[in-house]
Amino acid sequence: MILAHDLGTTGNKATLVSNEGTLITSVTVAYDTDFGPGGKAEQDPGDWWRASCEATRRLLERAGVRADDIDVISFSGQMMGVVPLDAGGEVVRPAIIWADTRSSAETATLIEAVGMERGYTITGHRLNPTYSLPKLMWLRAHEPESFARTVTVVQAKDYVAYRLTGVLATDPSDASGTDAYSQADGAWSAELVEAAGVDGLLPEIVPSTTVIGTVTREAAAEAGLIAGIPVVMGGGDGPMGALGAGIVDESDGAYAYLGSSSWVSLSAPEPLHDPQMRSMTFNHVIPGRFVPTATMQAGGASLQWIVDTLRPGGEARYEELLAGAAGVGAAADGLYFLPHLLGERSPYWNPRARAVFAGLARHHGPAHLTRAVLEGVAFNLRTGLLAFLENGRTIDNVDAIGGAANGALTLEILSNVWGRRVTKRDLVDEATSMGAAVVAGVGVGIFPDFAVARTLSGRLESVEPQPQTAAAYLEQYELFMDLYRRVEPWFEMLP
C-alpha cells in the first residue's frame, strides 16, 4: 500500500492508496496559521510533523491495516515558503509560508539587481514577495540572528520527509517555486542566488521520484510506522494537483484547483512565458514537463472567509449560504467582489492589493455577498485562462478539483464566467495526495509510468456554459477588471 501526505495550508491530508491505484481512505488533521499585520503568514513546522504522525496513526486504524502493510511513503506540500534549519536540523523560527507578503522591499532590491523580465525568463515566475527567495532576504534584513543560525532552507514536504528519514533535499517542482531556480539549467540560479546574497542555503535538488531514504526507528516510533519503509521525495502541491487530476501532457486539457489558494493550470513540454507575465510556470513532477499556472492567493479562502464571517458554525451553515446564493440572479445586482484578501499573484502580482466589495446597496444580504464572492473568484481565474488562450493554448474543458469543487453552484458560475465546459473529478479533495501516491508508486516500481494517473480518477458531471448567462458575465467581467484598475492606486495609500 502507498501512504501519501498532502501538507496543505489548513491541515495535512493522509491518504492510503492500494498498489492497484484505488483510494482506500483518507484522514485530515488541521493546524493553525499565524496571520498578522503587514502580510504576515507563518506556521510551526512542528505542527506539520505532529499532524503527519497523528494522521498516519488514525489512517492505519481507520483502514484496519498494519504499519508493515505500507510499501512506500511520499508527499505533496504547500510551496513557496521558507523553513529555516540550523546546523543540527532544528527549526530556527516559524516557517514563513506562501501567503506571507512582507518582503516587498526585498523584492524591489532583487528586481533592481536582476530585472523583472530577466527574472521571469530565468525562473518562469515574476520576482514577487510570495516566493521563497525574497522571504529569505526579508529574514536576513529583519531577523539577522535567525538568519545567522540558518544553514539550510527547505519547503513543507521537504521538512516532513527529513523528519522521517534524516535526509535533506528538495525536488524540481518545489525548487521552481522559489524564485531561485533556473528552468533552463535545471539547477539553482547562481545569478539570482548571488543577487539575493543567500549563497549556500538551498538544498540538493533530486527528481520527485527519488527514494531519498527510509523511515528511521525514531520517526517510526513517533508516527506509528515501522523502520525501513522507503520514502520518495514527492513534489509541490500545484504540480501534484495536476498529476492527481490526470493532467500528464497537453492532450489532457486544463484543470482548476479550488483550495485555499486557487489556480488554473495545464501540462506543457516547455515553459509558457506570457508577455504580460500574468501566469507562471512550475516544473512538473514528471521529468521534462512543465506546468504553466495562473494562481490567485485567496480562491477557496475567500469563500471560507465569507462563510466564517456570515454563518460561522459548520457544514450546515456553509450549505445554507450556498443555497441562498443560488437563488440570486447571475450578474444581475451590480455587486462585485475583488477577492484579494491576501494580496494577489495572478494576474496583478500586487502584495498590497486588498479585498473590496463594490456596488453594495441596502437590499443586498448574505446571499448576494456570497454570490459576489464566488463570481469574483471566477472572474479573477478567467484572466489566468486568457493568459493561456492568448498564447496559443486550446482549452475546451477544465477539470475541477479541490474542496470548493464540491459545490454545484461554484461549477455553474465557473463555467459561465469562463465560457468553457467545467467537469468535476471524482477525487476533488484527494487529487493532490493521489498525485503524491502516483509519484511514490513510480518511484519504487509499483506503477510503470505516470500515465497511470489518467486511470486513477474519473470525470463526473460536466457543466456547460449557458450562452445568455455567459454573455452577461462577459460584460460584467469588463466592469470587474475596470474596478481593480480604479482602486489599485488606493491600495498604495494603505499602511
For residue 188, what are the domain limits?
Answer: 2-233
Cα–Cα distance, 470 to 266 (Å, whole number) = 23
Cα–Cα distance, 13 to 237 (Å, whole number) = 12
Q: pLDDT tens for residues 11-59?
A: 999 999 999 999 999 999 999 999 999 899 999 999 999 999 999 999 9
Pair type for strands 72-77 and 235-236: parallel
Does residue 377 lie within any of the structural domains?
Answer: yes
Among 208, 233, 258, give the residue marking a domain's end: 233
CATH number at residue 435: 3.30.420.40
pLDDT > 90? residue 122: yes
Same domain? For 429 and 321 the reply is yes
Mean per-residue pLDDT of the chain = 94
Does residue 240 lie within any of the structural domains?
Answer: no
Contact 153, 84 (CB under 8 A): yes
Does residue 129 lie within any of the structural domains?
Answer: yes
Cα–Cα distance, 140 to 233 (Å, whole number) = 28
pLDDT > 90? residue 313: no
Q: pLDDT tens for residues 231-265?
A: 999 999 989 988 988 889 888 889 999 888 899 99
Does residue 241 lie within any of the structural domains?
Answer: no
pLDDT of residue 314: 67
Least Cα distance to 123 among 77, 155, 80 occurs for: 80
Structure letter (DSSP) for residue 25: E
Cα–Cα distance, 9 to 31 (Å, whole number) = 8
Among 233, 261, 291, give the residue marking a domain's end: 233
Helices and strands (DSSP H and E) totals, the chain: 17, 23
pLDDT of residue 460: 83
Same domain? For 453 and 320 the reply is yes
Same domain? For 199 and 269 the reply is no
Q: In total, how many domains does the chain have?
A: 2
